[in-house]
Chain A
């Protein structure tokens, strides 16, 4: 008699991705009492992007000491191993069905199915590429994303180039400027389209200023030239409407152009499933439990919204892990259509605001996360519910490069429904 070769294993919780978000979610769910947890990781080793982030600066919030990315990953892994969590590496998830059946495959496993009562997607983010920003010119080799170059250098041991230019002043670009310099390459400059840097201030200081690498603000690459390998780039200044300013072109003879031009949350599994996406973040729409528009499916980490610090990714993962545990163990966490909700809305100066939906009947404390549109100094944050001022917070400075948090209690939100807006105003 033929048996079904696709036997479905059942779990309480399946977590997709074993980076900082997924590993923290697994440990938190186990601590909350969930027994059968499966973590699926597409790479051969757990740790996610941390493994290639060999620089230090991780863990100051979470472990009160300064760690490199691999050290941080190892701590997160040790915590999940201590709890005996079933972690399978080299397992690529292909789809999630509406019945929460996870299809995955890999050399070690063949094609397999696993069902979870709850699912947490912690699938990270993808880098924006040359195509996403449409740089005109030739199409030689030597043009690559900064994170890919980081993989080549730090995990594979290849030098990516000798004369390097970096477009985009995000943290990965800044970190790679130092990395290439330390390994004997020459970084001719970093260009940023905006009039301010998109990286952490400390990375401008220790990655560019330490090595006298020039930062060209309000500049971008106008043309790429090269037959086989990249030979030259043309840089030009842009005006306030991002149009090239004629006569400001500079050429640089380089063999490599690294692009650090943003990350896009990676959510193909969820969009295939019909989960609603947030128009600003590129991640799913979630409530304060990090549950998506489909009950029992949760999201955290860079696949929810792009973070600057792994420490915050881990604590978000823990929130998702605890929420999934409540869903699995209590089964009562599914909001009904008529339960009251507060919808959040970004006001003046706010780029995005998460979570999108709050339930004061189910949760006592809320953590709002947001980014501002441009740099601000000496301003106040105004939190208003249905137009009425609820909270005022002074801020000496706010930067788009730094994700901000605002903690709220149920008592600060006296009405269980309506709209909550966050806006920036002069002091």
Chain B
């Protein structure tokens, strides 16, 4: 197995605190204020993922766009493929916050869901 190259220090992006993380050869993480930081550092070095947020065109409403996100982080290298799917997608009001607009996008085990409730 290829050992990931270890950066001197990485910024945790899990929350706005932005902990400075250090990882050693045995994948022990230090500098994290919570367990999520340790999990982030390991994922980031082996297979980085991101939650994608954007908007989708909305019809039947005074608001022209409804904001969306992926319901789970997706592989970083798939960000632009997921964006292409989001661009192809359209929705019509009413939309509920959390409503699935694209089921299991590109088979990545994440849905694209609305993040705002818009009444018709």
A246 CA / B13 CA spacing, docked (Å): 37
A13-38 Cβ-contact flags toward B at 8 Å (1 or 0)? 00000000000000000000000000
Judge if B103 is at the interface, Cβ distance under 8 Å.
Answer: no
Q: Which residues of A contact B51 (CB under 8 A)?
A: 56, 66
Residue in B53, B63, B117 whose beta carbon sits within 8 Å of that of A74 in the complex: B117
CB within 8 Å of B: which A35-64 residues = 44-45, 51, 54-57, 60
A155 CA / B63 CA spacing, docked (Å): 7
With A206-B13, A309-B16 given, is the CB distance from A51 to B55 under 8 Å?
no
Q: Are A68 and B13 in contact (CB under 8 A)?
A: no
Q: Are B15 and A71 in contact (CB under 8 A)?
A: no
Residue of chain B at shortest CB distance from A401: B18
Judge if A364 is at the interface, Cβ distance under 8 Å.
Answer: no
Q: How big is the B interface, by class?
A: 20 to 34
Q: Are B64 and A54 in contact (CB under 8 A)?
A: no
With A182-B79, A206-B13 given, is the CB distance from A70 to B65 under 8 Å?
no
Judge if B101 is at the interface, Cβ distance under 8 Å.
Answer: no
Task: Count contacts between A and B, CB distance < 8 Å.
Answer: 82
Q: Which residues of B contact A156 (CB under 8 A)?
A: 64-65
Residue in A73, A157, A205 whose beta carbon sits within 8 Å of that of B55 in the complex: A157
Judge if A210 is at the interface, Cβ distance under 8 Å.
Answer: yes
Q: Are B16 and A308 in contact (CB under 8 A)?
A: yes
Judge if A245 is at the interface, Cβ distance under 8 Å.
Answer: no
B9-25 Cβ-contact flags toward A at 8 Å (1 or 0)? 01111111010100000
What distance in Å separates the Cβ of B98 from its nearest Cβ neighbour in chain A? 8
Residue of chain B at shortest CB distance from A182: B83
A206 CA / B48 CA spacing, docked (Å): 11
B88-114 Cβ-contact flags toward A at 8 Å (1 or 0)? 000000000100000000000000000
> Which residues of B are interface residues toward A (Cβ below 8 A)?
10-16, 18, 20, 50-55, 57, 62-65, 67-69, 76, 79-80, 83, 97, 115-117
> Which residues of A are interface residues toward B (Cβ below 8 A)?
44-45, 51, 54-57, 60, 66-71, 73-74, 153-157, 182-183, 200-202, 204-206, 210, 308-309, 397
